[in-house]
Amino acid sequence: MNIVGYYAAWTANSGFTPDRIDASRLTHINYAFANIGPDLRITLGFPEIDLFNFSKLNSLKQIYPELKTLISVGGWTWSGLFSDVAYSEETRRIFSDSCVAFIKRYGFDGVDIDWEFPVSGGLPTNIRRPEDKRNFTLLLKSLREALDAQGSADGRDYLLTIAGGSGISFPQNTELSQIHQYLDFANIMTYDIHGTWDSYTDFNAPLYMNNDLTLNFKWSVDSAVNAWYEAGFPLEKLMLGIPFYGYIYGSVNNSNLGLYQPYFGANSIPYFQVASDYLNSPDFIRYFHPESKVPWLFNGSVFISYEDPESILYKTDYIKSRGMGGAMIWELSGDPNGVLLYYLYNGLNPP
């Protein structure tokens, strides 16, 4: 099964350079992110570190020749020009040709489009149009044709993938029943279902909805997968997003084991920090939700939602039972010691 790991460019600055990635347990690495220039062409996102990172990624492929690397374009911060890129046949061609030239120049095996989001959502400054729904399909068609033409010339296949939202709006604002024909696969971002924008503590990536009473909006990983499937996207081409990070909430009411309580102050937290600073602390108790299949920690005032080996194995069982194509990780630096990756790999590829 595919295991796609996003590598965030900026994590090299804190010491997690690409050579630290355990590529033996990955099939694909998506490099996040490239930007879009004012000329509507792909451009380096972090020019001060990108070339160093690209070199390290290409060295990894010498060690693991089956490993594929993709340049991921956009993300939350740099999706502002996608609507303009997709707007016309000419702008789509300009962008597509620039992507082909980029992957040829820097040694990538394909392109991953992370448009957050067509039609609505994303940063308030993003350009957005109702026509994005159709134009997204046409953009992917243009990219597929450009990649295939280059692939024919080079005697190889180039990959095209996307990262897509887990909320109900993404299937509504895209043509999932049509775009899959242009994609090798899609990565569904089944995390940030709850977070610091909510008024009450909750789970980052609950596998299933539960019957608890809460004022938060109810949604789950399973709900997101079903929404994509019902919109016509084949599950065998869908990679389930798994977060290697969680959320830590402060000043939480000491009630209901900290769950669904008001709080003051919250931040994301990588798994390695949860493991090193909190898991073995005598002040914190670990709980596991029997319906949502995810853990949390609570000490009476601090609530932490995260993933652990048990929740990972529930998700790998889910991937296999639904006939999905594999898993996607955001993002690799959250687990530099490979603890979660070990369980993810073995859950999908049992001995």
Q: What is the CATH number of the domain that holds 323?
A: 3.20.20.80
| Average pLDDT of the residues of the chain | 98
**Bridge partner list, 327:** 3, 240
Does a structural domain hold residue 270? no
116 annotated active-site: yes
Catalytic residue among 48, 66, 116, 230: 116
- Would residue 86 count as lying in a domain? yes
The answer to whether residue 211 is domain-embedded is yes
The answer, yes or no, to whether residue 310 has pLDDT greater than 90, is yes
Q: In what order do the strands lie in the sheet containing 285-288?
A: 266-270, 245-249, 303-305, 295-298, 285-288
Is 90 exceeded by the pLDDT of residue 88?
A: yes
pLDDT score, position 131: 98
Give the phi and the psi of residue 43 in degrees, each rounded to 5.
-145, 160
Neighbours of 39 (CB within 10 A): 10
Residue 204 lies in a domain: yes
Residue range(s) defining the domain that contains residue 214: 2-243+306-348
Specify if 276 maps to a domain: no
Count of domains for the chain: 1
Per-residue pLDDT, 351: 80
0.95 surpassed by pTM: yes
Q: Would 261 be classed as within a structural domain?
A: no
Query: What whole-number distance in Å separates Cα of residue 111 and Cα of residue 99?
Result: 7
In a domain, 301, yes or no: no
The string of pLDDT tens digits covering residues 327-342 is: 999 999 999 999 999 9
Residue 216 in any domain: the answer is yes
